[in-house]
Amino acid sequence: MTETVLTNANIVLNGEIVRGSLCFDGANIVAIDAGNTALPRAIDCEGDILMPGLIELHTDNLERHIQPRPGVDWPHGQAILAHDGELASTGITTVFDALRVGSVVSNNRTNYRKYARPLATEILDMRARGALRISHFLHLRAEVCSETLLDELDEFGAKDRVGIVSIMDHTPGQRQFRDLDKLRQYVCGKHGLSEDGFQAHVASQQALSERVRQRHEAGAVAHAIRLGAVLASHDDTTAEQVAASAAVGVRLAEFPTTVAAAQACRDHDIAVMMGAPNVIRGGSHSGNVASEDLAREGLLDVLSSDYVPGALLAAAFRLADLWGDLPRAVAAVTDTPARATGLDDRGTLAPGMLADMVRVRLSADLPVVRNVWSHGRQVG
């Protein structure tokens, strides 16, 4: 007998919670039934919450493992394993690893070196060898304000599991970094620039953007189509920017910075993704709109852990309190991101779907991961 039965669980389904049992066989869910079972082989979940595995569309977490200290380049295989294991431990069963494409090679003030292609190859090789616990796809963050974007995108092909291409523009003075004081805090704190160094960085990046923006934006759109990837925008600030995104086929907006931009996304049927750390902290570290403000306005569709993997589950439960609706909040980290990226085999608990699941127990108001299954295999 290969079937596994979980019983006495509060099972989060689309729009409802059912106390009952779930059976899976191999990688797929076989049945979900209301009520408990007395089968001796059944695993008693003791009333814990059973929900779909979390789906993470944008995380910089791997970069932290690769460079745990400034100037330290950690062995990539070990870094990938640590990243994969950390995500599994937080309930994430599908991840789109965010890799920047587009580098600045003419100076090294902020260390924007090329790294995406070789790192992607290592991730995909480890996946093929069965070394990873969860499902990995690629999210190419196409930096418009760079010198090598199109050459780097040329290095990726149809077999590289590229699910998302996001058009980023970190030109100083606009979008996420329209407030130069916030940019100064971020860049000088991260890279140790002096004030003169910061001013030189701003001037050089603004000049570079003027030269390449139009060509790079068009090229990123073309590459997303070639790769069959969902096209995303990044840090839209105005309704005009959102309209421009919609015109080139953007279907996902990462971290719009204002209520006006988020409302424009809704008007253009573009899903809005916001940061889970923003929810936990009560605001943006860059001084932009708070995720909870958009949630209250009904303008938040998807959460991303961004730079703290454990924030994804915690923020979902925070939204559940805000909305008074746990299934709706769970959908923001499971079903909605699955549909936004065309993954029709996961994101919900239903017969025939992948057995990607998380068992969660509430300790006071803190959701604690008890068990995690990915494709029916217990990974946490």
What SS3 state is found at 173?
Answer: coil
pLDDT given for residue 184 in this prediction: 64
First to last CA, the chain: 22
Instruction: List domains and CATH numbers for the chain.
Output: 53-347 (3.20.20.140)
Outline where DSSP puts E strands in 161-223.
162-168
DSSP state of 334: T
Q: What is the pLDDT of residue 333?
A: 98
Residues of the chain with pLDDT under 70: 1, 107-112, 170-193, 197-199, 201, 204, 209, 285-286
Q: Would you state the pLDDT for residue 186? A: 62
**Alpha-carbon gap, residue 115 to 127, rounded angstroms:** 19
Query: Under the phi-then-psi rule, with left for phi > 0, alpha for psi from -120 to 50, and beta for the rest, what region is 85?
Result: alpha
Query: So what's the pLDDT on residue 38?
Result: 81
Q: What confidence tens digit (pLDDT) does each residue in 143-186 have?
A: 987 889 999 999 999 999 999 999 998 666 565 666 655 656 66
Give the span between the Cα atoms of 134 and 167, in whole angstroms.
26
Spatial distance between the Cα atoms of 290 and 274, rounded to a whole number of angstroms: 9
